[in-house]
Chains A and B, each alone.
Chain A
Amino acid sequence: MTATSTSGRPVRPTPAHEPGDSNRVVPKRRRRPRTVTEWVLLLGAVIVAIVIAFPFLLILVNSFKSPSDYASGGPLQLPAEIYLDGIVAFWERVDFPQKLWNSVLISGLVSVFAVVVSVLNAFAIGIGRVRGRTWVIGLFLLANMLPQEVLLYPLYYMFKQIGLYNNVWAVIIIFTVIQSAFGTYLLSAVYGTFPKSVLEAAAIDGAGRWRILWQVIVPISRPTISVLLIFFFIWTWNEFLIPLTFLVSNENQTVPVAISVLQGDRLMDVTTTSASALLGLVPTLIFFLIFQRTLTRGITAGAVK
């Protein structure tokens, strides 16, 4: 059993576990005809799905309308003609490519650094089984569970003193710690069940701890590590309070911060606001589509098998 059996992130079971899949080992019974109640319940589930998807559709439709088109046709009509000015105006106004780059840079570096720190910690805790490791894990969990508000002002003051305020590196350092706290917890559990025979074989071949870590343990636990990389990337991308506080000047802001600080601005007409929401949601939708398979593989394949 590895610790990655369940996860609250976009975990999608592999097709073999798909509910109701025909190869499932359910004793075959004669199929009853579907009842009216069953159709009604299905309808209910579909209605809930429509209600949930509806705001997305509204944003999509209305981002391509001119404000006058919106005023005359209302929110439900398809655009009379494809109008890109709202999107273009917002794109240029926030310098969207720059914000994307900031978000990619911060999230990318955080996920790499946090994974390295997690691996080192987990090696000591899971493989090295240092004394008092329960306390060490507890400490890292605490770091992950604390509300960020309780760290906010001291961190703000500290980073101001050392001249890293309004600098992406402040955010990178802080999230490296917060994310690696979680990674340590997860990887320690995984490494605690690492097959001992593999490690013994490596030791007999004369490899030291450092080499065993990087040339044996890390390659074998790659599925878990790649899941962590992706989680850390997306979590950091979605963070708000700390980037909002630390990245005050325009050119350092991340995508969610840049978009949210312009809300309520008097230059934001109804369809430009819709366009801003669209630009905010597209990147995360893209990650979801790209990473979905890796996530699935990593989690369902189990970490060390």
Chain B
Amino acid sequence: MATIPLIRAPRTRAPARAAEEPLIPHRGDRPSLGYWLYLVPGLVLVTVIVLIPLGWNVYLSFTEWRGIRPPVFIGLENWVELFGDQTFWASFRNSVAMIVAMVVLPTVVGLVLAALLFDLIGRRFSGRLASFLRATYYLPQILPVVIAGIVIGWVLRPGDGALNQMLDAVGLGFLAQNWLGNPDTALLSIMVVLVWVQLGYPIVVFMAALQRVDPELYEAAELDGANWFQRFGAITLSIIRPEIFVVTLTCTIAALKVFGPIYVLTRGGPGDSTIVPAYYAYSEFFQAQQVGYGATIATALTIVIGVVAFVFIRFQLSSERKESAS
């Protein structure tokens, strides 16, 4: 689901002048002008499908619109309402839960499992077993996230659901309940779905990153008497830090955007217990027909995502600078 490919542009430190020259030799003065023609289709499409709708949506957040008669400009009314809206705040509180389920737990557990597979199982047992386990951890990642939701939703069915029946079978029947229908357990159940889906992603990325770790560094640290945890902290973590950064950034953005599992499993309920911003905006657009207000929620979500990305990237750049300075 939230697998955004981890590709970083190569850092080119070529002289500035050479970098401005097209790679194909040219005749004449304005070599790069003709290349703009190749950008025309892409720029037209991105303008029509992304930029105009984005601007329009921001405008709609200042209007009242039920989708039929023309929108009425109402200034900041939607925004004022938004700040006092309990449901809106509940949706962002639930986003924090989504971040725990999609970022914090998978990254921490993923680091442990990746190190375990790479260092211990791959080296001391068998490389093939390590690959097999990695593929198993990754399995839920290949599903469309709504299908993943349906799979876990099936296990958690109320009444005769598989989890309830298994609890019954081991004498814990008193724990059985309507997992997704009970406000106390619904959010937790959604989090379980997301952890299940998300765990394989950091494992695969971190294991690929671990290949970069020079075994000789480990040997040296071992000779100096460092134990496994010290080596892990001092060598492994610092070497795979770029991957940790990209995984946490992309997964945080994905966690803020969660929609599918909520739609198929709880529709935000019971009450507001599992509502998230994306679902709240969707329901305002298409169920409440409050397009202006839905646009306000969507704009607020976009701002939050922008701020998160900005803070992350600033933090990454400053820590990189500190590192290269020291």
Given contacts A173-B49, A277-B154, contact A189 B120 (CB under 8 A): no
Given contacts A152-B285, A231-B5, A284-B144, contact A41 B120 (CB under 8 A): yes
Which of the residues A3, A19, A281 comes within 8 Å of B117, measured between beta carbons?
A: A19
Interface presence of A66 (CB below 8 A):
no
Residues of A within 8 A of B231 (CB): none
Nearest CB to that of B138 among chain A residues?
A10
B224 interface residue (CB < 8 Å to A): no
Minimum C-beta distance from A147 to chain B (A): 5
B50 pairs with A177, CB closer than 8 A: yes
Give the chain B neighbours of A121 by CB distance below 8 A.
Answer: 38-39, 42
If over half of B's interface residues share one DSSP class (helix, strand or loop), that class is named, otherwise mixed; here it is helix
A149 — which chain B residues lie within 8 A by C-beta? 257, 259, 277-278, 281-282, 297-298, 301
**Cα(A55)–Cα(B155), bound, Å:** 7
For residue B245, CB closer than 8 A to chain A, the reply is no
* A147–B10 CB distance below 8 A: no
Assuming the contacts A58-B155, A245-B286, A260-B264, asked whether A120 and B38 have C-beta atoms less than 8 A apart, the reply is yes
Interfacial chain A residues near B135, Cβ < 8 Å? 12
B169 and A244 form a contact (CB under 8 A): no
Known: A19-B122, A71-B160, A129-B21. Is A259-B5 also a contact (CB below 8 A)? no
Q: Give the residues from 22 to 44 in chain B that come closer than 8 angstroms, CB to CB, to chain A.
A: 22-25, 32, 34-39, 41-43
Task: Check B20 against A186 for contact (C-beta < 8 Å).
Answer: no
**B208 at interface (Cβ–Cβ under 8 A)?**
yes
Of the residues A12, A147, A186, A237, contact of B5 by C-beta under 8 Å: A186
Q: Are A196 and B54 in contact (CB under 8 A)?
A: no
Query: Taking the complex as formed, is A100 at the interface, i.e. its CB lies under 8 A from any CB of chain B?
Result: no
Query: Of A52, A180, A189, which contacts B136 at CB under 8 A?
Result: A52
A129 to B137, CA, bound (A): 41
| Interface majority SS (helix, strand, loop, mixed), chain A | helix
Q: Is A166 an interface residue (CB 8 A)?
A: no
Q: Are A56 and B46 in contact (CB under 8 A)?
A: no
Contact B305 A147 (CB under 8 A): yes
A193 and B301 CA atoms in complex are apart in Å by 36
Cβ contacts under 8 Å, B199 to chain A: 52
- B141 and chain A: residue at smallest CB distance: A10
Stretch of B72-80, B81-89, B145-153, B315-323 on the interface side:
B145-153
Q: How far is the CA of A276 from the CA of B154 in the complex (A)?
A: 10
Q: Which of A18, A154, A200, A288 contacts B53 (CB 8 A)?
A: A154
The reply to whether the CB of B256 lies closer than 8 angstroms to some CB of chain A is yes
Given contacts A130-B32, A131-B32, contact A55 B151 (CB under 8 A): yes
Q: Given A34-B124, A124-B39, is A140 in contact with B147 using a C-beta cutoff of 8 Å?
A: no
In the complex with contacts A149-B298, A184-B42, A154-B57 CB distance below 8 A: yes
Task: Indicate whether A212 reaches chain B with its CB closer than 8 angstroms.
Answer: yes
Least distance between A204 CB and chain B CB atoms (Å): 8
The answer to whether A6 and B6 touch across the interface, beta carbons within 8 angstroms, is: yes
A255 CB, min distance to chain B CBs, angstroms: 8
B268 within 8 A of A: no
A45 touches B10 (CB 8 A): no
Bound CA span A27–B12, Å: 34
> Which residues from chain A contact B155 at a C-beta distance below 8 Å?
55, 58
**Pair A117/B42 contact, Cβ less than 8 Å:** yes
Q: A196–B23 Cα gap in the complex (Å)?
A: 6
Number of contact residues on A: which range applies? 35 or more
Contact A256 B146 (CB under 8 A): yes
Contact between B10 and A75, CB atoms less than 8 A apart: no
With a cutoff of 8 Å between Cβ atoms, the chain B residues found around residue A36 in the complex are none
For A146, the chain B residues whose CB sits under 8 A away are 50, 54, 302, 305
- Residues of B near A237 (CB, < 8 A) are 144
Contacts of A212 in B (CB 8 A): 24
Nearest B residue to A241, CB-CB: B259
Check if A267 is an interface residue, CB within 8 A of chain B.
no
Type the 1/0 row for B121-143, where 1 means its CB is closer than 8 Å to any CB of A: 11111111011010111111111
Contacts of A56 in B (CB 8 A): 139, 151
Chain B residue at smallest Cβ distance from A44: B116
Partner of B150, one of A136, A173, A241, A277: A277
Q: Knowing A27-B215, A154-B57, A155-B53 touch, does A281 contact B143 (C-beta < 8 A)?
A: yes
CA–CA, A55 and B23, complex, Å: 52
With contacts A145-B253, A184-B42 known, is A153 near B145, CB below 8 A?
no
Question: In the bound complex, how far is the Cα of B249 from the Cα of A148, in angstroms?
Answer: 18
Binding site for A on B (CB under 8 A): 1, 3-10, 12, 19-25, 32, 34-39, 41-43, 45-46, 49-50, 52-54, 56-57, 60, 67, 113, 116-118, 120-128, 130-131, 133, 135-147, 149-155, 157, 160-162, 165-166, 169, 196, 199-201, 204-205, 207-211, 215-216, 219, 243, 246-247, 250, 253, 256-257, 259-260, 263-264, 277-278, 281-282, 285-286, 291, 294-295, 297-299, 301-302, 305, 309
Q: Which residues of A contact B (CB under 8 A)?
A: 1-13, 17-22, 24-27, 34, 38, 41-42, 44-46, 48-49, 52-53, 55-56, 58-59, 62, 70-71, 74-76, 117-118, 120-121, 123-131, 136, 139-140, 142-143, 145-158, 173-174, 176-178, 180-182, 184-186, 188-189, 191-194, 196, 199-200, 202-203, 209, 212-213, 231, 234, 237-241, 244-245, 255-256, 259-260, 263, 270, 273-274, 276-277, 280-281, 284-285, 287-288
Going nearest first, the 9 A-B pairs with the smallest beta carbon separation are A128-B35, A20-B122, A19-B122, A154-B53, A75-B162, A280-B147, A20-B127, A238-B144, A121-B42
